[in-house]
């Protein structure tokens, strides 16, 4: 529940329950809790089913059992549905001949159908009303590819109902025939042996079939080969279907519905795979089962039992709809021109671009199923011609925006229109998703047309304006121009990911509680989670300012900086925009907004995902000689500049007029870079020292792995230049033989740690010592930088020679000691101070990947130290131009973030291993960050909440979750959960240690002892996956990141 009382839409489920691994039949009809709508309206599942006049069903994985035949009761359920007045449609990737084979007892000639993923559409009397074919050049290109890659895959061609392969002896040539009962394929005359094989003249569909292991190699090649000429969809783990453009089950179903005089508003669809996503999202009632719940992340109204249950999911669905139709009678006129009742809320959308179209699509889907909204959603489209035809006409005719959202269906209740006044007239909610220049024109045009009782919702992130030496919010401009209240909705929402149905989250800013409820019901979905705040300006402020940070992230990528540098730059940008907000907008600069989706989630996904601002800045940094427009055309295929460029210019102009450039080095440096006054490489030159000098000391570095060696390089260089420190630094090295030589000998002679950090020269003042006692003797600063597994034995050896007053600093990440079942917690720094009998051990943590630090790429770290004199001394020891150190007195906060982020990094690796979208991963990281903060606060109430914004918090989390070893190993685990963590560590880390799983065990003990499972569901779910109690996918379904989750973590 977000600030302001957000709500999450609950999916309907069966009253029946799982028992002993099987589905136990309960009620005969599908039921759910009644949906309580804002304003007191209520709609039960039976009422919703009574609106269904057409049911479109996938076959494999849905209607058919694993044995490729209809489940028990299927034929009878279809017949009963038809007797009640329903129309049953088949929607499948199979051709008609294959469908006849598997649909035993069902005469497909008597059912309208969509075959080969929309390539063939059959009318109610068996007539063909659509037949698409692939362009000959695509067929030839795929055959040529197949001839060169016979070791990877086989090529199958379908001409209407006849199947062909190039060579029936190939390993995968007969896969569809043997395993899915497709017709036996014929061999193309001439086959691979002929220079010109006789390929069928009219190829409706082609399939590339390979092993699941080869699919990651094959799929990108096929997509690149057919790009812009055809489209591909993966229907099985072994199969890619290639079809004509604009050919999907959804488009085929639309053609079929038009032919039989029905609309999507009276249609239900059921499916289980990626191929079914568009079909599910284009109809009024969507029902997901099997892989569709997890794989497609679709926002289904209902989640069904699988097709192998007794009875199967489709049978349950058919019986439930039939029962509703018989009990209540049809509740909605099936005519496509059906008009909904008067007096309900009318919604209008302004903007049909790459973001505006997915927004309109979400809104229209809600309008179809929520009776408080008028069914029709008007969409204003700018006067635009695409491929010789008006874009608005194409949307209305084909139910697709071919220019800005190709391949995705828009619901039937969207009506595109070029007349802005007509769209605005009678609208109760006006949603603006347009650029600032177009918006100004729109506001002038519709100003006298808008109802005085209407409200506006701004979803564009580029509306910050400058005028009269003041900055004005876009929502303020809209409110002033139209004279109506305005809300905003913004968050981590890359348009392509949202269109694909991947999980994303956003924040609604609205002052009116009743309007908040109404807007949440319009937007909040299982795969689009919306929380709310009561300050529109707070939400808009951070969402707009973050575009500058995403430009900086792109500059980092263009230069080739590593994740250390990029994470540090992103964190610096976040801190500076927060500072800017507090200084100039103190009433709107809500800390809650920064920690909501409009803050961190949006910041992360726009800086690390494929946002327009980041992509443009990356290309610009690679070639600053090109004009801005040329860069935009090259990388975005659009001459319009991304919004971040104008916002940087406007904000810097404002800062300069206020004479505070020196207070905002991040904004000032970005401005100078995009204006070509400074080179992109100067981005890191804005960091300034933040602490004062101290006295000299002798230093010993305890640890010589890759991180220990990297930090020794910094320490060695720093003490070599400062008279305050003794120039020689002792580095304890665990002795081992490398190519017949002692590692200490190699380091002291060749000045390189060839085992753990090869290719990087060590300063000559670093002396490798194999005996830790010798290394520590006489030193009064001890730098602990070794795997925590070896800390206890080291402390036993050196404790007798450590003198009082010695300063210790721990760079050991993830070391916590949990005893007595989670009751007792000791951090690594506490253990060190206690064992060495010194007052305190400081902590240094941050976004630090060893190789990047050693390379000299800019990175940051946070020094946790409560003793001021020690803090100053340690800062001088570590801080340098490429390694910026900030200090805080929150020792335990700094240390625990360094450990807990390893647990969240496992979830990040699971995201990558499962192929989840950038939006979803960003949302997971934000949730992990909040749960880390909550746990630290529970363990150490004196910890400082703002520590999360330091390098040890957000920046370290970003680096670890996009590049660290825990993420890497978790990715491998997600792809093959049968492996043990020990096997993965040995295979992938080559002697380095994996901290995440062991830390996860300790963290869960702390959570369980303090009864925090309900407050920390993500951390708890990660532990469940690590211990194999649940799957990696369940981490996300149980936490609402993917649809179809169930509570599995209560025990």
Residue 31 scores a pLDDT above 60? no
Encode pLDDT of 956-1015 as tens digits.
999 999 988 899 999 999 999 999 999 999 999 877 778 889 889 989 999 999 999 999
Pairing outcome for strands 239-244 and 729-732? unpaired
pLDDT at position 159: 87
The answer to whether residue 906 scores a pLDDT higher than 80 is yes
Lowest mean pLDDT among 346-350, 694-698, 882-886: 694-698
Q: Which residues pair with 730 in a beta bridge?
A: 700, 767
Q: Residues in the chain, how many?
A: 1051
Q: Looking at residue 383, what is its pLDDT?
A: 85
Q: What is the greatest pairwise CA distance in the chain?
A: 95
Instruction: Spell out the alpha helix ranges (H) of 685-741.
Output: 706-721
Across the range 398-414, mean pLDDT stands at 84
pLDDT of residue 517: 93
User: Contact at 8 Å (CB) between 363 and 428?
Assistant: no
- As a whole number, mean pLDDT of residues 48-53 equals 84
pLDDT at 6: 33
pLDDT score for 23: 26
* DSSP 8-class letter at 473: -
What pLDDT band is residue 264 in, cutting at 50, 70 and 90? confident
Say if residue 171's pLDDT is above 50. yes
Q: Mean pLDDT across the stretch 668-690?
A: 82
Instruction: Round to whole Å and give the CA distance between 710 and 861.
Output: 13
Q: What pLDDT does residue 307 have?
A: 66
Under 8 Å CB-to-CB from 20, ≥6 apart: which residues? none
Average pLDDT for residues 537-556, to the nearest whole number?
91
Structure tokens given for 651 = 């904000």
**If we measure between CA atoms, which residue out of 380, 379, 374, 378 comes closest to residue 346?**
374
Report the share of the chain in percent with pLDDT over 70.
Answer: 90
CB 286 within 8 A of CB 249: no
CA–CA dist 820, 1010 (Å, integer) = 13
Rounded CA-CA distance 710/704 in Å is 9
The rounded distance, in Å, linking the Cα atoms of 556 and 559 is: 5
How far the first Cα of the chain sits from its last, in Å, is 23
Q: What is the mean pLDDT of the chain?
A: 85
CA distances from 475 to 429, 461, 490, 544 (A): 14, 10, 12, 11
Asked if residue 167 has pLDDT above 70, the reply is yes
- Higher-pLDDT residue of 371, 340: 371
Q: What is the mean pLDDT of residues 740-752?
A: 93
C-alpha distances (whole Å) from 534 to each of 420, 513, 588 are 29, 8, 10
Mean pLDDT of 527-551: 90
> Which residue's entry shows tokens 């379908």?
158
Angle, helices 891-914 vs 956-963, to 10°: value is: 30
Q: If pLDDT is split at 50, 70 and 90, which confidence band does 854 have? A: very high
User: How far is 51 from 375, CA to CA, in rounded Å?
Assistant: 13
Q: Angle at the Cα of 676 (from 673 to 680), degrees rounded to 5? A: 40
User: Which of the residues 249, 755, 901, 921 is marked catalytic?
Assistant: 901
49 vs 647, residue with greater confidence: 647
Residue 495's nearest CA partner among 358, 366, 630 is 358
314 HSE (CA, 13 A, CB side): 31
pLDDT of residue 311: 65
Give the C-alpha separation, 944 to 926, whole Å: 18
State mean pLDDT over 720-726. 78
Per-residue pLDDT tens for 481-524? Answer: 999 999 999 998 888 888 877 888 999 999 999 999 999 999 98
Peptide bond into 495 cis (omega under 30): no
pLDDT at 953 over 60: yes
Tell me: pLDDT of 298 over 70: no
Q: What is the pTM of this model?
A: 0.69
| Among the listed residues 729, 728, 691, the one whose alpha carbon sits nearest the alpha carbon of residue 708 | 729
Under 8 Å between Cβ of 536 and 598: no
What pLDDT sits at residue 706? 93
Averaged over 79-93, what is the pLDDT?
92
Cβ atoms 967, 879 nearer than 8 A = no
The answer to whether the beta carbons of residues 1031 and 977 sit under 8 Å apart is yes
Please say if the pLDDT value at position 39 is more than 90. Answer: no
Q: Which pLDDT does position 466 carry in this prediction?
A: 58
**Residue 291 — very low, low, confident or very high, per pLDDT cuts 50/70/90?**
low
Q: Smallest Cα–Cα separation from 791: which of 738, 838, 732?
A: 732
Q: What is the pLDDT of residues 755-801, one digit of tens each?
A: 999 999 998 889 999 999 999 999 999 999 998 888 999 999 999 99
pLDDT band for 337, please (50, 70, 90 cuts): very low
- Contact of 208 with 142, CB cutoff 8 Å: yes
Q: What per-residue confidence (pLDDT) applies to 218?
A: 93
What is the pLDDT averaged over residues 161-178?
88
DSSP 253: H
With bands split at pLDDT 50, 70 and 90, how would you rate the model's confidence at 1030? Answer: very high
The yes-or-no verdict on residue 685 having pLDDT over 70 is: yes
pLDDT band at 832 (very low <50, low <70, confident <90, very high): very high
Cα angle value 75/77/80 (rounded, 5°): 110
Q: What confidence tens digit (pLDDT) does each residue in 862-888 have? A: 999 999 989 999 999 999 989 999 999
pLDDT of residue 465: 57
Closest among 143, 169, 145, 137 to 157, alpha carbons compared: 143
1018-1027: per-residue pLDDT in tens? 999 999 999 9
Cβ-contact 459, 359 below 8 angstroms: yes
pLDDT at position 342 over 60: no
pLDDT at residue 37, as a whole number: 30
**Nearest-angstrom CA–CA distance, 788 and 770:** 19
Question: Which of the given ranges, 338-347, 586-595, 722-731, has the highest pLDDT on average?
Answer: 722-731
Contact 751, 713 (CB under 8 A): no
Q: How confident is the model at residue 693 (pLDDT cuts 50, 70, 90)?
A: very low
Q: Among 184-188, 338-342, 373-377, 695-699, where is mean pLDDT lowest?
A: 338-342
The more confident residue out of 249 and 559 is 559
Between 297 and 587, where is the model more confident?
A: 587
Cα–Cα distance between 776 and 771 in angstroms, integer?
A: 9
**1028 included as an active-site residue:** no
- Mean pLDDT of the 471-486 span: 89
Mean pLDDT lowest among 323-327, 350-354, 508-512:
323-327
* pLDDT at position 7 over 60: no
Pairwise CA distance, residues 652 & 29, whole Å: 62
Write the pLDDT tens digit of every residue in 577-634.
888 888 888 877 777 788 889 988 999 999 998 899 999 999 999 999 999 999 988 8
């Amino acid at each position: 529940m977000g600030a302001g009382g957000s709500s999450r839409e609950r999916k309907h489920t069966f009253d029946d329950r799982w028992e002993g691994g099987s589905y136990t039949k309960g009620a005969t009809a599908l039921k759910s809790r009644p949906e309580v709508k804002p304003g007191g309206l209520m709609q039960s599942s039976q009422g919703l089913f009574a609106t269904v006049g057409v049911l479109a069903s996938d076959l494999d994985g849905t209607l058919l059992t694993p044995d490729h035949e209809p489940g028990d009761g299927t034929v009878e359920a279809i017949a009963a549905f038809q007797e009640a007045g329903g129309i049953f449609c088949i929607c499948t990737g199979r051709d008609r001949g294959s469908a006849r084979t598997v649909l035993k007892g069902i005469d497909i000639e008597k059912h309208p159908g969509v075959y080969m993923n929309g390539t063939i559409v059959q009318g109610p009397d068996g007539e063909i009303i659509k037949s698409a074919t692939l362009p000959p050049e695509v067929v030839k290109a795929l055959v040529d590819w197949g001839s060169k890659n016979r070791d990877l895959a086989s090529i199958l061609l379908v001409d209407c109902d006849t199947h062909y392969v190039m060579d029936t002896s190939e390993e995968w040539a007969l896969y569809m025939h043997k395993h899915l009962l497709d017709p036996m394929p014929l061999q193309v005359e001439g086959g691979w042996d002929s220079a010109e094989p006789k390929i069928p003249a009219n190829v409706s569909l082609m399939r590339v079939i390979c092993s699941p292991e080869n699919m990651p190699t094959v799929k990108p090649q096929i997509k690149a080969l057919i790009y812009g000429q055809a489209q591909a969809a993966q229907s099985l783990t072994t199969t890619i279907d290639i079809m004509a453009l604009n050919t999907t089950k959804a488009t085929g179903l639309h053609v079929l519905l038009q032919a039989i005089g029905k609309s999507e508003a009276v249609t239900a669809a059921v499916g289980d795979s990626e191929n079914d996503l568009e079909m599910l999202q284009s109809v009024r009632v969507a029902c997901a089962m099997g892989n569709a719940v997890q794989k497609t992340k679709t926002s289904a109204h209902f989640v069904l039992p699988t097709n192998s249950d007794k009875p199967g999911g489709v049978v349950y669905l058919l019986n439930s709809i039939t029962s509703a139709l018989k009990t209540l009678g049809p509740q909605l006129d099936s005519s496509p021109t059906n008009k909904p009742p008067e007096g309900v809320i009318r919604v209008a959308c302004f903007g049909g671009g790459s973001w505006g179209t997915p927004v309109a699509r979400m809104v229209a889907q809600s309008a179809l199923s929520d009776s408080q909204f008028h069914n029709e959603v008007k969409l204003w489209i700018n006067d635009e011609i695409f491929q010789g035809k008006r874009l608005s006409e194409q949307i209305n005719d084909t139910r697709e925006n071919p220019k800005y959202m190709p391949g995705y269906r828009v619901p039937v209740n969207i009506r595109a229109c070029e007349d802005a006044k007509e769209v605005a007239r009678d609208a109760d909610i006006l949603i603006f998703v347009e650029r600032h220049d177009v918006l100004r024109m729109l506001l002038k045009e519709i100003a006298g047309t808008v109802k005085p009782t209407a409200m506006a919702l701004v979803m564009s992130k580029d509306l910050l304006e400058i005028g009269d030496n003041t900055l004005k919010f876009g929502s303020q401009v809209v409110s002033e121009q139209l004279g109506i209240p305005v809300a905003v909705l913004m968050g981590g929402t890359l348009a392509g990911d949202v269109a694909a149905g991947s999980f994303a989250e956003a924040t609604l800013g609205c002052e009116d509680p009743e309007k908040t409820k109404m807007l949440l019901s319009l937007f909040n979905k299982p795969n689009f989670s919306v929380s709310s705040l009561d300050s529109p300006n707070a939400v808009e402020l951070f969402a707009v300012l973050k575009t500058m940070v995403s430009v900086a992230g792109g500059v980092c990528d263009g230069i080739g900086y590593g994740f250390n540098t990029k994470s540090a730059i992103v964190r610096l940008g976040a801190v500076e925009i927060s500072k800017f907000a507090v200084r100039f907008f103190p009433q709107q600069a809500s800390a809650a907004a920064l920690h909501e989706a409009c803050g961190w989630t949006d910041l992360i996904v726009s800086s690390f995902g494929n946002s327009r601002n980041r992509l443009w800045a990356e290309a610009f940094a690679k070639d600053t000689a090109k004009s801005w427009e040329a860069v935009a055309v090259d990388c975005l295929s659009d001459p319009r500049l991304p919004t971040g460029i104008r916002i940087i210019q406007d904000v810097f102009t404002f800062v300069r007029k206020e004479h505070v450039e020196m207070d905002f080095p991040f904004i000032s440096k970005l401005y100078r870079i995009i204006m070509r006054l400074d080179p992109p490489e100067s981005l890191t030159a804005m960091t300034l020292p933040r602490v004062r000098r101290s006295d000299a000391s002798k230093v010993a570095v305890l640890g010589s792995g890759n991180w220990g060696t990297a930090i020794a390089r910094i320490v060695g260089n720093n003490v070599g230049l400062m008279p305050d420190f003794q120039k020689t630094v002792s580095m304890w090295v665990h002795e081992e033989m490398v190519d017949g030589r002692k590692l200490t000998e190699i380091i002291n002679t060749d000045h390189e740690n060839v085992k753990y950090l090869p290719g990087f020269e060590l300063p000559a003042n670093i002396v490798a010592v194999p005996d830790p006692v010798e290394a520590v003797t006489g030193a009064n600063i001890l730098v602990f930088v070794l795997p925590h597994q070896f800390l206890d034995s080291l402390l036993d050896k050196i404790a007798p020679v450590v003198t009082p007053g010695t300063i210790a600093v721990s760079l050991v990440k993830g070391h916590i000691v949990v005893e007595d079942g989670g009751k007792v917690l000791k951090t690594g720094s506490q253990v060190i101070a206690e064992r060495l009998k010194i007052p305190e051990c400081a902590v240094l943590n941050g976004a630090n990947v060893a190789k990047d630090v050693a390379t000299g790429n800019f990175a940051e770290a946070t020094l946790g130290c409560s003793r001021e004199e020690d803090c100053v001394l340690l800062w001088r020891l570590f801080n340098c131009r490429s390694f910026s150190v900030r200090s805080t007195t929150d020792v335990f906060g700094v240390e625990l973030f360094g450990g807990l982020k390893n647990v969240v990094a496992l979830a990040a690796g699971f995201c990558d291993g499962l192929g989840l979208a950038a939006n979803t991963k960003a949302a997971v990281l934000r949730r992990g960050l909040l749960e880390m903060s909550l746990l630290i606060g529970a363990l150490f109430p004196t910890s400082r909440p703002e520590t999360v914004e330091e390098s040890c918090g957000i920046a370290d989390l970003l680096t670890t979750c996009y590049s660290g070893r825990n993420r890497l190993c978790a990715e491998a685990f997600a792809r093959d959960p049968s492996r043990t963590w020990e096997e993965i560590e040995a295979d992938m880390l080559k002697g380095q240690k994996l901290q995440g799983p062991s830390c996860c065990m300790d963290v869960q003990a702390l959570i369980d002892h303090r009864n925090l499972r309900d407050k920390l569901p993500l951390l708890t779910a990660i532990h469940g996956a690590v211990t194999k109690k649940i799957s990696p996918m369940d981490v996300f379904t149980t936490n609402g990141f993917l649809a179809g989750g169930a509570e599995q973590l209560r025990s």
